Chain A
């Protein structure tokens, strides 16, 4: 067993776990944060994607020992005190998910994309999400949702309220 300490969605967590525990299983089993999903468990499908120190990573491809000392953001960490993340709203409005199994993985990738590239082209969005598989949507609505969430998209409401995904990423 090893001792690990990491920050997950802003909260410090400590545990004593078997070193063969992947970060994905730690999040799901030990922290009961089941928003991070397991599709293939060998790095191909992207359903397990989280942010590790701000960058996207497959949580099924990290041992818990590697995650010790890092800051993890999961899908559960996207919504803020004032409601859903603009990306979540945009994805909802664009019908960007059906069964929702792949969705958390897409969201974490999109959060990273829009933080680093607030005005992506459609081609750039497709390239960024190419590592995430979806069996339901055919991807068109996912791409539309991410583009909608991008800076300057309809995430701004007519009355001036509403934040863009980029604003949220900076806070």
Chain B
């Protein structure tokens, strides 16, 4: 979008990169934020870290009437051991998630993915809840959430809903969040937790032109290895190959119960690529994404079982 005007006889055409006018609400509490959502519904947007929302507003692709800033709600930022996994508040900054000792110990996949997410300045402000709610098909955290069988907790006035990550992501940049709801928490169950009595290994791979760019293809993988050294179970979840995170179920089935040899890993990676039906765009063709997915899957698995 551009504006055109005359400046002393010269026609000037410059892009508009400022947000349009809106009502700003700095919510002091979750109750206030939810009441505001109920009042304004589709006319409102929720501002968490702002690293995706503010560019959309500046480029005038998002035109909300009301911006509800949930940044002041400190109670929404936390990382807690729940005894059977971890609960993470939606406003937890990506930076804090990346540096958390608890997460590094239990679910290192987060730090592996976050190291490749944009740049430090973005991660200093961006949040877990915001990234999931934004649901960019190239994003890292949605694939991590799906890979770890995470649950997303949604609140509206008087109501709490819990959805599996798989059910939460519906289409490109479209989630199950209703207009009067907020994402408040992400629950990561103990299923893929790294524990002394259990070998769980993870790997995150991302193909991008430059460090920190949006992924052309990304993959989050987690593998549980039995005491005998066989693959008990695995999750391979891809970004950039569909509107939502894509689970390579065929590849996972091939891996289950096998010895992690070069042959089994290669076969699984090949299967992961073959099962894909990606779209092409300006940044990469469908065929390129498919082939890259196969290569990344193999590298992710090799790293995970090494």
Contact = CB atoms under 8 A, between A and B. Distances in A.
B82 interface: no
Please classify how large the interface on chain A is, using the bins under 10, 10 to 19, 20 to 34, 35 or more.
20 to 34
9 pairs of A and B residues whose beta carbons are closest in the complex? A131-B119, A19-B24, A41-B17, A42-B55, A130-B211, A56-B121, A20-B19, A55-B124, A61-B54
Given A43-B54, A131-B119, A131-B120, A62 B125 contact: yes
B288 to A, nearest CB: 23
A151 interface: no
A114 B116 CA distance: 21
A7 to B, nearest CB: 17
A57 to B, nearest CB: 5
Given A46-B121, A61-B122, 15 more contacts: A18-B21, A19-B24, A20-B22, A20-B24, A41-B18, A42-B58, A58-B51, A58-B121, A58-B125, A63-B47, A63-B54, A65-B69, A130-B210, A131-B121, A131-B212
Contact of A56 (B58, B59, B120): B120
Contacts of A18: 21
A43 B51 contact: yes
B121 A49 contact: yes
A149 interface: no
A25 B19 CA distance: 11
A32 interface: no
Contacts of A128: 120
Interface of A: 2, 18-20, 22, 25, 40-43, 46, 49, 52, 55-58, 60-63, 65-66, 68, 109, 112, 126-128, 130-131
A65 B28 CA distance: 13
A66 B71 CA distance: 7
Nearest to B17: A41
20 contacts: A22-B19, A22-B58, A40-B17, A41-B18, A41-B58, A42-B17, A42-B58, A55-B95, A55-B124, A56-B120, A56-B124, A61-B51, A62-B54, A63-B47, A63-B54, A66-B69, A128-B120, A130-B210, A131-B119, A131-B122
B26 interface: yes
Interface in B56-105: 57-59, 67, 69, 71, 95
Nearest to B26: A65
A20 B122 contact: no
Contacts of A41: 17-18, 58
Contacts of A55: 95, 124
A42 B50 CA distance: 11
Nearest to B19: A20
A24 to B, nearest CB: 10
B20 interface: yes
Given A2-B24, A20-B20, A57 B121 contact: yes
Contacts of B118: 131
A79 to B, nearest CB: 22
A130 B212 contact: yes
Interface string B1-31: 0000000000000000111111110100000
Nearest to B24: A19
A66 B22 contact: no
B67 A19 contact: yes
A50 to B, nearest CB: 9
